[in-house]
Structure 1
Amino acid sequence: MTRYFTEDTSVEAVNARMGEDIDPRLKTVMASLVTHLHAFAKDVDLRQEEWDFAIDFLTKTGQICSQERQEFILLSDVLGFSMLVDAINNRRPSQATENTVFGPFHVDNAPIREMGDTISLDGKGERCRYEGRVMDLHGAPIEGACVDVWSDNADSFYDVQQPDIQPKWNNRGRFFTGKDGRYLFYGIKPVSYPIPDDGPVGKMLSALGRHPYRPAHMHYLVTAPGFQKIVTHTFVGDDKYIADDAVFGVKETLIAPFEYVNDGETIWRSPFDFVMVPAAEPVS
């Protein structure tokens, strides 16, 4: 029976229009979306001018998107939604390495480098030794794991943001573990940087009294045959934004040691082990 739309029956009226033979998962997701969206409007007594403003905001968010910039992902990030979806889809045993947001600056097929090579090519920043092991849940080393790494430079920019300034593949590289599961490379101690804040999302952050900064971190994408991939960062614990990441990416287990060594050439050492979960491991 067709339901006429009223304020009280709005959810039922909309959800009743869905067909009987549609994809069950689509039906579940859309029914819940309508339910919560309508509940939000009723909860705040949404005004027409506020909804008009929201439509304009979403329109401008779409208009600024390009192949180089995805403002909707940025919006998802700063609302904590990207991290929530990531957490739901990457539930792991407590001893396994946690995921965090992928970020927009990864580049496929970075150069394969030898263990102990330097990824920083522009001569800037404080040299840091990164080392550790890739292992399974029982502590056994994983041979043939790919440790794909990337970071910003000392000026707070990734190479793809400054293609005419930074060397290609600056602060990027891939390393493959041997039988001992160990990795070792040299980079720089990363620095904090702002997410793009010259668009609608940046204006929203400003209106909310929020800053656009991410704490300093090194990116890792760790993959190995038969194991779930790890998409994560290691964070500099004394960074001023460590407890206030604009995209909520910090997890306590991902705050890595940055030990001051200053042996003449290398200033810092950052050890960190990665614990991988078998691909068939059930979601906890």
Structure 2
Amino acid sequence: MATNVDADALTAEVLQSFSATPNERTKEILGSLTTHLHAFVRDIAPSIEEWEQAIDFLTRTGKTCTDVRQEFILLSDVLGVSMLVETINGQETPDATDSTVLGPFHMVESPVRALGDDASPESEGPRCVVSGRVVSIDGTPIPNAEIDIWQADTKGFYDVQQPGIQSIGNGRALLRSDSEGRFHFRSVVPMYYPIPTDGPVGELLDATDRHPYRPAHIHFLVTAPGYRELTTHIFIGGSEYIESDAVFAVKESLVKDFTENTDPGEAARYGVQTPFRHGRFDIVLHPGS
């Protein structure tokens, strides 16, 4: 292989090395990655020291990942790449509920709970009820849809962030919609919180003078046979940082008011004390796989 080549010739040589790739999609991805990555390097002309720092950053990002923390997802999130991927794929299903990022904390299996159960039985603070329906784009109810939810507590922590304080599974639930596509669960009103900043992603935020906060929200991952999987949130209306989410994931359609309810009959129906806050969220799935 030649060693004294100019930049364009080197890029061409690398692209040629992928010419026999059996899978056409893999060949396309590698070709585009090589082209854009080489163009990026030519554009910024990094010193050897800067490139070594970049490699070190990515190495430490990988080493920060654990069974309950995904630093690469976090990096993708704060660079807006996760949201860009969601947005591109969401263009295929414009009639469905808007999708948004998975986030770095969908790392453990949610406990199976019955409709109406408390998803955050160990958490103290203002209680809420979340209710809605899972329907198809034509309004047809989808029974037995699997609804995986996870959220932070009233202090902004997920269960996996507080071993010994929260049990794994607190703030999580795996539900099934009823015969009419309906669902509801109890929980605490989550608080806004900072994404983890004790790793390489935190260093990036510090270096760019960006805040690490996400507005209060509840994650949903919804699946049903014959329908496309949906990853989404509901954002608590009025939460701090709703206009400046650190991972760029807020969509107006997903911001929901959690209104205060003082009706004793409604409280008894849902198994909570008054006052409580009620968020309503209908989920529309698109047929397909």
TM over 0.5: yes
State the percentage of identical aligned residues.
Answer: 46
Deviation sequence 1:10-51 (CA, Å, 0-9, x none): 321321233435432222111111111111122233333322
Which segments of 5 or more consecutive residues in structure 1 lack a partner in the other structure? none
Matched, 1:27 2:36: no
Correspondence for 1:267: 276
Determine the C-alpha separation between the residues in 2 that align with 1:27 and 1:168: 41
2:288 to 259, 279, 282: 279
The answer (yes or no) to whether the contact 2:68–2:105 under 8 Å persists in 1 is no
Report 1:29-44 matches (<5 A): 29-44=29-44
Distance 1:196 1:83, change over 3 A: same
Correspondence for 2:49: 49
Partner AA of 2:286 in structure 1:
V
Correspondence for 1:118: 118
Which segments of 5 or more consecutive residues in structure 2 lack a partner in the other structure? 264-272
Distance 1:213 1:122, change over 3 A: same
Matched, 1:171 2:171: yes
Determine the C-alpha separation between the residues in 2 that align with 1:152 and 1:250: 17
SS in 2 for 1:128: strand
Which region of structure 1 is more displaced relative to structure 2, 127-136 or 37-46?
37-46
Deviation sequence 1:176-196 (CA, Å, 0-9, x none): 222221111111111111111
Which region of structure 1 is more displaced relative to structure 2, 9-18 or 190-199?
9-18
SS in 2 for 1:16: helix
Distance 1:262 1:49, change over 3 A: farther
Partner AA of 1:270 in structure 2:
G
Determine the C-alpha separation between the residues in 2 that align with 1:54 and 1:168: 35
Determine the C-alpha separation between the residues in 1 that align with 2:23 and 2:145: 38
Deviation sequence 1:233-255 (CA, Å, 0-9, x none): 10012122112111222122111
SS in 2 for 1:42: helix
Deviation sequence 1:152-199 (CA, Å, 0-9, x none): 111211112223112442222222222221111111111111111111
Higher helix share: 2
SS in 1 for 2:222: strand
Correspondence for 1:226: 226
Correspondence for 1:59: 59
TM-score by length of 2: 0.88
Report 1:127-206 matches (<5 A): 127-206=127-206
SS in 2 for 1:191: coil
Correspondence for 1:70: 70
Determine the C-alpha separation between the residues in 1 that align with 2:160 and 2:21: 46
Cα distance, 1:268 vs. partner? Answer: 0.9
Cα distance, 1:90 vs. partner? Answer: 4.0
Partner AA of 1:67 in structure 2:
D
SS in 1 for 2:17: coil
Distance 1:18 1:140, change over 3 A: closer
SS in 2 for 1:218: strand
Determine the C-alpha separation between the residues in 1 that align with 2:219 and 2:66: 23
How large is the Cα RMSD of the aligned pairs?
A: 2.2
Distance 1:136 1:27, change over 3 A: same
Distance 1:10 1:189, change over 3 A: same
Deviation sequence 1:101-142 (CA, Å, 0-9, x none): 112323555333332222221241211111111111111111
How many residue pairs are counted as aligned between the two chains?
280
SS in 2 for 1:93: coil
Determine the C-alpha separation between the residues in 2 that align with 1:98 and 1:249: 11
The answer (yes or no) to whether the contact 1:57–1:200 under 8 Å persists in 2 is yes
Cα distance, 1:2 vs. partner? Answer: 7.3
SS in 2 for 1:232: strand
Determine the C-alpha separation between the residues in 2 that align with 1:76 and 1:236: 23
Correspondence for 2:84: 84
Distance 1:111 1:52, change over 3 A: closer
